[in-house]
Amino acid sequence: MDAQILAFAGICLLLAVTPGPDMAVVTKNALAHGRRGVLLTTSGIALALLIWVGATAVGLAALLRTSSDLLSVLKLVGAAYLAYLGVRALMDSRQKSIDLLATAPPVAAAHAVFRQGFLSCITNPKLGVFFVTFLPQFVAPGQVVLLRLLELGLIFAMIGWVWMNAYGLLITRIRDVITAPRVRQWMQRVTGVVLLGFGARLALERV
């Protein structure tokens, strides 16, 4: 595994563990429906991620073929976006944390649990921004763009899926630790600093 993939996987893991809408849905369904609820919810999220990955990879591959300068622009935009995410994470860590267990509506039937996970992910526009601005930075010269983007997207989806399953299956046992506002604030602070560092590195990196 090359250094670029390791760096990419590290950032994906940081983003995966940062509390967000998908984590709120997994939390709620884990407590309401147990393991079955976790698997149904994360399956819905995984399907939505695959749709995001496929659509973004095909579109980006077509765009990058039309302009050799576009990759350089996207690298700078991606670096700025990472810095933005880092600043937002640091700012959010200064605010009072919301209760994750109160952010997702209750669900009942199996198909509703799956649908809730799918809709939570597929309607998140931040994923589209992330894929468009971030994935191209890990496409090296000479690589087949479409295949590389699909590889990166699948890595992101797999890391997110594994984390959500691990989190969901453990949530009932370590609920007080994971959802504690103080713990989540420090998670946001560490994530913010790391994302700022990656953003600076990518901005200074020669294309």
Tell me the residue range of the domain where 137 lies: 3-69+96-178
Residue-level pLDDT at 165: 93
Residue-level pLDDT at 107: 47
Residue-level pLDDT at 109: 74
In this structure, is residue 86 part of a structural domain? no
Residues lower than pLDDT 70 in the chain: 1, 61, 64-72, 74-75, 78-79, 81-82, 85, 89, 92-93, 95-108, 125, 172, 175-180, 184, 187-188, 191, 195, 198-199, 201-203, 205-207
In this structure, is residue 184 part of a structural domain? no
State how far the Cα of 146 lies from the Cα of 196, in Å rounded to an integer: 28
In this structure, is residue 18 part of a structural domain? yes
In this structure, is residue 188 part of a structural domain? no
Contact 148, 76 (CB under 8 A): no
Residue-level pLDDT at 161: 92
Vertex 35, ends 29 and 38: CA angle to 5°?
45
Q: CB neighbours of 131 closer than 8 A, spacing ≥ 6?
A: 52, 53, 56, 57, 60, 153, 156
Contact 56, 156 (CB under 8 A): no
In this structure, is residue 84 part of a structural domain? no
Rg (CA), the chain: 17
Condensed to tens digits (0 to 9), the pLDDT of residues 84-126 reads: 767 876 776 676 655 555 555 554 577 888 988 898 888 776 7
In this structure, is residue 187 part of a structural domain? no
Domains of the chain: total = 1
In this structure, is residue 36 part of a structural domain? yes
In this structure, is residue 27 part of a structural domain? yes
Residue-level pLDDT at 207: 45
